Each structure stands twice: as C-alpha cells, then as structure tokens.
C-alpha cells in the first residue's frame, strides 16, 4: 500500500492466497455493502472467469488477478464505458511501467503483437435504472510461461516476461494501474468520457482493421471494417455494401478478417 497514488481506489485491500474468482468474492462483498474502491487481490484463482462464461487461468504468482468494487452514479447502459476506461488504464500502465508495446483489441483485451496479455471482465448489478455496483476484474499475465498455459490458448496468449519485459514488481504494476484508472474513471464520471475515448482510439489495434464478428454460437454474424467506437463503447463496423452496423460487447467475439 505504500506508494499508492490514488485517493479512493485500492485503499482497502482484501488479499487472498487462493480464491475461486476475485470477481465473485468482490461481488459477494459488494452485495454486503463494500464501499467503492475495495480491491480484491489474489495470488491464485482456481475458478477464474473470462467473458461469455469462458474460464481464465491464474497460476500461483504468475499473474495479477484483481477486482475493484465501483459504485458509479450511472445508468446501466453507460456501464460499458468503465470497461473501455480500464483497458486504457491497463494499456498505458503496461507501456509505461513495463515498456511493452501493448494495444487494445475492442472492447477489452490488452494485446501485444496480436496475443492476449490481459483480460478485463466487468460485472454489474443494477437497481431500478441505476447501477448499484460494478465489479471491475483485471487479469494480467506477468511471468506466465508457455507450459503453464492450456494448449487451447497457448498460441493466442502472452505475458510480460514472454514479451521480454524487465522484471517488474506486481505491486508496482497494480499501483500504476490503479492510479491511471482512477484518473480515467474521474473523467468518465465527470462527463468527459470523450477524452477517455480519444486515448482509447490512440491505443486501439482494432480501428481501421477488417474484422469478423462471431455470435455467441461461434457463427460469423458480420464482416467489415471497424470504423469507430461510440459513446457507449459500441463498435461501428462498415460492411461491404457500405452499411454501418453497431456492435455491442457481450454479444460478439471479434476476429481479424
Ligand atoms: P473475445 O475476442 O470475445 O474477447 P477471447 O477469445 O479473447 O474472446 P475471452 O472470453 O475474452 O475470449 O477470454 C477467455 C479466453 O481466454 C479463454 O477461453 C481462454 O482461451 C483464454 N485464456 C484463459 N486464461 C488466459 C490467460 N491467463 N491469458 C490469456 N488467455 C487466457
Ligand atoms: C476476458 O475474458 O478477457 C476477461 C478475463 C478476466 C480475468 C480477470 S482475473 C481477475 C478477475 N477475476 C475473474 O474471475 N476474472 C477477472
């Protein structure tokens, strides 16, 4: 906690050696009234979760597994902005603190050379038409080695060590991520999400690319060029006929076309 540059995020930490999923623990604590800023950290997850019900691997000591409880005063439809803001914070922190050329694959993957370095999973609970809480989960591969990866993602994943980054303390990285996230989160809450989006665009590896969107069943639903991201964090894709489609995260998986 020494060296923490934030005002309200990560001031209270729930640290566990082993946990099923830091997101699940943070959600439980949020339901019991945990305040904004509570940070759950774990050395190891035994049931880490990815998007769309997939699993996420976190071997002991090889990664950062963190979940933040947030209580933004936002309507539920604006909550995806938090995911984009988090991707900006992680990517900038990784570039600065670890010197790795990371970029953002829409909406929430932090990649290096096309391989996934970090995944972000935001889960929300709403009451009426307001957000009750959001749990922002970040999984970042630090020293993860190929042998520790399941063959199913060995070719698509990477870690800071595999990308040749000099050793960096995980605590320092967590602090860097929190400091940057607090700043972008404040902009978002202050109606300055446009500034966050500018930074997102600058780091995006998706915009300008030919992409294929796969539906939840893995079938292609759309192909075209990713042109823009809107205020809600949706991706605008222009198909071959010139028509623009709005793609919402949570409904599709994006692949290079
Ligand atoms: P999308 O493009 O929709 O984000 P994805 O293929 O990246 O899809 P996600 O749901 O974002 O999938 O991430 C979960 C997937 O990541 C898992 O299915 C698994 O293949 C892979 N995975 C699991 N653990 C790790 C890890 N530690 N690092 C990198 N990839 C992982
Ligand atoms: C993705 O599918 O890309 C998202 C992966 C998110 C993984 C992180 S690790 C910390 C937190 N706890 C979880 O169970 N998932 C997130």
- The pLDDT, as a whole number, for residue 249 is 83
pLDDT higher than 60, residue 2: no
CA geometry: angle at 26 spanning 22 and 29, to 5°? 140
Tell me if 76 CB under 6 Å of ligand 1: no
Ligand that comes closest to the CA of residue 139: 2
241 CA to centre of ligand 1 in angstroms:
31
Angle, helices 170-189 vs 80-98, to 10°: value is 140
Tell me if 56 CB under 6 Å of ligand 1: yes
Ligand that comes closest to the CA of residue 249: 1
Tell me if 48 CB under 6 Å of ligand 2: yes
pLDDT higher than 90, residue 125: yes
Domain extents in the chain: 13-203, 210-256
Pocket probe mutation, ligand 2, options 14, 21, 56, 138, max atoms within 8 Å of Cβ = 56
pLDDT higher than 80, residue 4: no
Residue 255: strand pairing partners:
212
Distance of CA 48 to the CA centre of its chain: 14
Residue with tokens 């699940």: 24
177 CA to centre of ligand 1 in angstroms:
20
Angle, helices 170-189 vs 193-203, to 10°: value is 130
From CA 128, how far away is CA 85, in angstroms rounded? 24
3-class SS of residue 187: helix
Q: What is the pLDDT of residues 199-232, one digit of tens each?
A: 999 999 999 999 999 998 989 999 999 999 999 8
SS3 content of the chain, % helix, strand, coil (to 5): 25, 35, 35
SS (H, E, C) 37-78: CCEEEEEEEEEEECHHHCEEEECCCCEEEEEEEECCCCCHHH
Q: For domain 13-203, which architecture applies?
A: 2-Layer Sandwich (3.30)
Residue 113, phi-psi category: left (phi > 0), alpha (psi -120 to 50), beta (remainder): left
pLDDT higher than 90, residue 189: yes
Ligand 2 atom 3, closest CA: 119
Strands 235-238 and 220-229: antiparallel
- The pLDDT, as a whole number, for residue 53 is 86
Distance of CA 120 to the CA centre of its chain: 2
- The pLDDT, as a whole number, for residue 1 is 53
Question: How many CA atoms, within 13 angstroms, populate the side-chain half-sphere of residue 249?
Answer: 24
What does the chain come to in residues?
Answer: 257
Ligand 1 atom 6, closest CA: 253
From CA 220, how far away is CA 227, in angstroms rounded? 18
**To the nearest whole number, what is the mean pLDDT of the chain?**
95
From CA 62, how far away is CA 45, in angstroms rounded? 11
From CA 111, how far away is CA 197, in angstroms rounded? 18
As a whole number, mean pLDDT of residues 103-131 equals 95
Residue 14: strand pairing partners:
40
Least confident segment among 26-30, 125-129, 148-152, 240-244: 125-129
Give the confidence band of 7 by pLDDT, cuts at 50, 70, 90: confident
- The pLDDT, as a whole number, for residue 108 is 87
Q: Which phi and psi (to 5°) does residue 79 adopt?
A: -60, -35
From CA 153, how far away is CA 176, in angstroms rounded? 27
Tell me if 109 CB under 6 Å of ligand 2: yes
Question: Token pair for residue 180?
Answer: 């940057």
From CA 225, how far away is CA 203, in angstroms rounded? 17
CATH topology of domain 210-256: SH3 type barrels. (2.30.30)
């Amino acid at each position: 906690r020494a060296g923490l540059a934030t005002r309200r995020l990560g001031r209270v930490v729930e640290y566990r050696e082993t946990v099923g999923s830091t997101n699940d623990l943070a959600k439980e604590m949020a339901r019991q009234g945990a305040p904004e800023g509570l940070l759950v950290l774990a050395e190891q997850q035994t049931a880490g979760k990815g998007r769309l019900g997939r699993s996420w691997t976190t071997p002991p000591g090889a990664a950062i597994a963190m979940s933040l409880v947030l209580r933004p005063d936002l309507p539920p439809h604006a909550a995806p902005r938090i995911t984009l803001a988090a991707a900006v914070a992680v990517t900038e922190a990784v570039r600065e603190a670890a010197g790795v050329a990371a970029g953002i694959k829409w909406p929430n993957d932090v990649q290096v050379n096309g391989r996934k370095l970090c995944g972000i999973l935001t889960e929300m609970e709403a009451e009426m038409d307001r957000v009750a809480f959001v749990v922002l989960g970040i999984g970042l591969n630090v020293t993860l080695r190929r042998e520790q990866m399941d063959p199913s993602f060995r070719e698509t994943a990477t870690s800071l060590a595999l990308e040749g980054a000099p050793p960096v303390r995980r605590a320092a990285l967590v602090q860097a991520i929190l400091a940057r996230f607090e700043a972008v989160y404040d902009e978002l809450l202050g109606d300055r999400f446009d500034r966050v989006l500018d930074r997102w665009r600058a780091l995006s590896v998706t915009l300008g690319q030919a992409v294929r969107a796969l539906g939840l069943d893995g079938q292609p639903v759309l192909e075209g060029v990713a042109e823009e991201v809107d205020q809600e964090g949706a991706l605008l894709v222009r198909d071959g006929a010139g028509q623009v489609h709005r793609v919402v995260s949570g409904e599709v998986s994006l692949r290079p076309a």
